[in-house]
Structure 1
Amino acid sequence: MAMDRKIKKKVWTAKRIFTILGITGVVALIAYVFIFADKSSKLNVELDKINVAEVTEGAFQEFIPVEGTVNPKTTIYLDAIVGGNVAEKFLDGGVEVEEGDTILRLENNSLQMQYVQEQTQTNRLRNDIENTNLSLQQRLFQSKSAIINLDFDIDQAKDAYTRNKQLWEDKVISEQEYLNSKRMYDRLMARRVNEIESAKFDSITAVNTIAQNRERLANSNVSLKMVENNLNNLWVTARITGLLSTVNPEIGQTVSPGQNIAQIDDLDGFKIVARVDQHYLDRVYLGLKGNFDFGGSNYGLVIRKIFPEINSGQFNVEMMFEGEVPENIRRGQTVPIKLQLSEERKAVMIPRGAFFQTTGGNWIFVVDPSGEFAVRRKIKIGNQNLRQYEVLEGLDVGERVITSSYDGYEDKDKLIIKK
């Protein structure tokens, strides 16, 4: 009897093999995804909605934009030296004037009265001084005349005294007669000494009095001249030749001393006053240059004065033209100036863009050479101007970067560029 043979079951069937391979493939794929795949945060962007620029190398110069106002090189402010009412107005603003032209006339009755009083007082003092000086001179002449008469009387008395002395010694006349002639002679001599001393005193007094009178008269003339000058100052005239830009008061208006009346601009040249942000105060210095475009040409400027007082976050600088001045430029015009904060130097640069507002210049998206994506990269930005940023680190010449706005890109590491 034949025995049945046991059939051995196969372990590695085709189905099992395919099942294991499938499971292994899935596990390997998952492992690859977790271990080797790109886990960076991505975002798809449209090419036509971004700006791409190339990193270049060239001449870089840092400058800032400031606004300047055209002013005359020299402006003369005419302020009232004395007060008064405007009686006549001969010129209005906007006309050219010559030095010495009369602009307006003020009226001041009290000043005119003061002049009359000073003039009267000076004339009275002059007359008094002349009379005093004449009296002194007459007294000196009288003293000299008295001495001359005394000398004549002394000669006579001396002769009588000498003669009587001899006659008395000869017993011809009495002693009393002799003594009387002697007393007469001695009295005249004493009187002469006194008259000479008095004349000397009168002479010294006369000299001092005349000097004092001259000084008083000189002071009175100075006071009169000052009042006269004040009267002349009621006529307001142009101090230079130029453009009379403004005349403030009108006829009948009261003007106080020191009040501004008019302003004259010297037409021989212009300057520009620019306002600069206080952030640049320590970087602005005398001699710093700038330029601006006007009428199709470029004109150079240089800082000649700095006014460090801060007002509304800005300070003023005064700039003069270097070389040619625009022909049609006018007072009060505003011009956009490029103020040069550095000299030209060779540098790696990228164009300015809205990306800076998000990144602060600390990172940027760099486009892959394939143009299919851009990756985030750290960079370092140096100085900047109106058109460019200076790149200090992180980019090479020839690379391309995205410079448009990064709104929505802040947490992304990679941008997929869709064409």
Structure 2
Amino acid sequence: MDVQIEKKRFSKGKIATVGGAILLLIFIIYVIMNTAGGAKLTVNKERLGISTISSVVFQENIPVSGTVLPSTTIYLDAVEGGRVEEKFVEDGAMMKKGDPILRLSNTDLELSLVNQETAVYNLLTQMQISQNAARQNTINRLNQYTDVENNLIEAKRLYELNKKLYEKGAVGRQDYESSLNNYNYQKQRMELTKKILKQDSIATKQEIGQAKSSYQRTQNALKLMRKKVEDLVVRAPIDGQLTSLDAEIGQSKTKGQRLGQLDVITVFKVRIEVDEFYISRIYTGQKGTFTLNNKTYSLVIRKVFTQVNGGRFQVDMQFENDVPKGIRRGQNLQIRLALSAEKQALVVDKGGFFQKTGGNWIFKVSEDGSSAYKVDIQLGSQNTQYYEIISGLNAGDKVITSSYDSYNDIEQLILK
């Protein structure tokens, strides 16, 4: 009889199919589990910049570049135009007040001086002639006054004598009245002579005063002309160093043309340029610091130039205490300009992460140091070393501060 053969429940084909399905399912679960937390990237820990969040005394400041300049600069301009005839010193020379620098020649100016001197001498001669004439006129008036006075005395004597004789009948009426008339006439002459002498004295004084005034004005004009000729020799107005001298023998200089400058090198200032973004936050009295030869020096703002050129404005600072030894005009200094007072704050080191995140988030390292993940943060002020942390991190947290350029959509970093 036929034996019924039992059919196998699982064939080799089915077993292979089920096994492949299980492996596929396991792979899908693995992928889902590994991608559930967002994109990940494994990086070498040694290639990262990792900083620790700390609480320090923080002050907002900005880096600026400053140029050392003399505190006082006197510009040398040609007071009078002329041809450069002689140079007494060269550019860079140390000068004392009054030392000659160069000499110009100006024929027209020198000729004007000669003409002015001649005019003064002519006026002086005319004035002396006028004074002599006035003096002689006064003498003549005084002689005339003496004659009139003498005639009056004689007329009075004769009148008084004839009056007595007339009263006694010793002389006639005709002689008496003749002497009386002559006496009255001489009195009138005396009054007139006095008036003439007085008026002549007043006129003489006025004439002398006008002559002196005219002479004084001419003398002043002569002094001014001499001063202009003297200005052809350019001299140092103060003690200092001669710089930017622009004059060569034979060169012609016009009136008002810049010849050079004199710098007071005993006291310096530092001129800095600041971005116009900070113009409302810069004022006199603010301080800055810089380091030179491993020593820190302090500066204070003394003057703010509010005119903006090319998006920047200038500020003058002075050394607050010590001045670096050997500092020179034109030397460049890297200055940290303070914008706020000191305060205690959480800070993070500056780094390349800011360019990618804008300070809105950062990679925070896990406690075991095996990974780093994104956290939202809020930054406040900054200085040359730190960003101030407003929220999102605590003291002791470790964060990655190096560049994030390679981490585009990465949510988590695996550190090895």
2:41 pairs with one of 44, 56, 76: 44
Match of 1:53 among 35, 45, 51: 51
Select which of 151, 158, 165 maps to 2:149. Answer: 151
* 1:91 alignment counterpart: 89
Query: Is the 2:372–2:415 contact (alpha carbons within 8 Å) kept by the matching residues of 1?
Result: no
Which runs of structure 2 are paired with 1:11-410 in the superposition (5 Å)? 39-47=36-44, 48-167=46-165, 173-407=171-405, 409-410=407-408
Q: Could you list the runs of 5+ residues in structure 2 that have no partner in the other structure? A: 1-20
In structure 1, give the amino acid aligned to 2:330.
G
Please give the secondary structure, in 1, of the residue aligned with 2:334: strand
Give 5+ residue unaligned stretches, structure 1. 1-22
Is the CA contact (8 Å cut-off) linking 1:92 and 1:246 kept in structure 2? no
What is the deviation of 1:359? 1.7
| Residue deviations 1:307-326 (CA, integer Å, cap 9, x gap) | 11111111111111222222
Specify the alignment match of 2:10 in structure 1: none
CA contact (8 A) 2:69 2:268 kept: yes
CA distance in 1, matches of 2:266, 2:31: 79
2-structure distance, mates of 1:164, 1:365 = 143
Measure, in 2, the Cα distance between the counterparts of 1:384 and 1:139: 95
* In 2, Cα distance between equivalents of 1:136 and 1:72: 63
Cα distance in 2 for residues equivalent to 1:160 and 1:322: 101
Q: Give 1:125 shift.
A: 1.4
Query: How far is the alpha carbon of 1:375 from its aligned partner?
Result: 2.3
Alpha-carbon displacement from aligned partner over 1:92-112 (angstroms, at most 9, x marks no partner): 102222222211001111111
**Structure 1 letter corresponding to 2:41:** N
Q: CA–CA distance in 2 between the matches of 1:129 and 1:41?
A: 111
Residue-by-residue CA offset, 1:129-153 (whole Å, 9 max, x unaligned) = 2222232232222222212211211
* TM-score normalized with structure 1 length: 0.86
CA RMSD of aligned residues (A): 3.0
- For residues 299-346 of structure 1, what are the alpha-carbon distances to aligned partners after superposition, in whole Å with 9 as ceiling and x for unaligned? 222212211111111111111122222222211111111112233322
The superposition leaves residues 70-117 of structure 1 with CA deviations (integer Å, 9 ceiling, x where unpaired) of 112222222221111111111110222222221100111111111111
Q: How far has the Cα of 1:39 moved from its partner?
A: 4.0
Displacement of 1:195 in angstroms is 0.7
Read off the aligned partner of 1:66 and give its amino acid letter: V
Given that 1:72 and 1:265 are in contact with CA atoms closer than 8 Å, whether structure 2 keeps it comes out as yes
Matched-pair contact (CA < 8 Å) for 2:361–2:377: yes
% of aligned pairs identical?
Answer: 37
Q: How far did 1:49 drift?
A: 4.3
Alpha-carbon distance between aligned partners in 2 of 1:368 and 1:57, rounded to the nearest angstrom: 20
Counterpart residue number, 1:415: 412
Looking at structure 1, the residues matched to 31 and 125 of structure 2 have their Cα atoms a distance apart, in angstroms, of: 123
The answer as to whether partners of 2:98 and 2:236 remain within 8 angstroms in 1 is yes
Q: Secondary structure at the match of 1:247?
A: coil
Could you list the per-position Cα deviations for residues 266-287 of structure 1 after superposition, in whole angstroms to 9, with x for gaps in the alignment? 2312221111111122222222
SS in 2 for 1:377: strand
CA contact (8 A) 2:39 2:409 kept: no
Number of aligned residue pairs: 398
Partner SS for 2:368: coil
Confirm or deny: 8 A CA contact 1:164 1:173 kept in the other structure. Answer: yes
1:330-365 deviation line (CA, Å, top 9, x unaligned) = 111111111122333221111111221122111112
Query: Partner of 2:3 in structure 1?
Result: none
Cα distance between partner residues in 1 of 2:30 and 2:333: 63
- Contact kept, 8 Å, 2:60 with 2:339, in 1: the verdict is yes
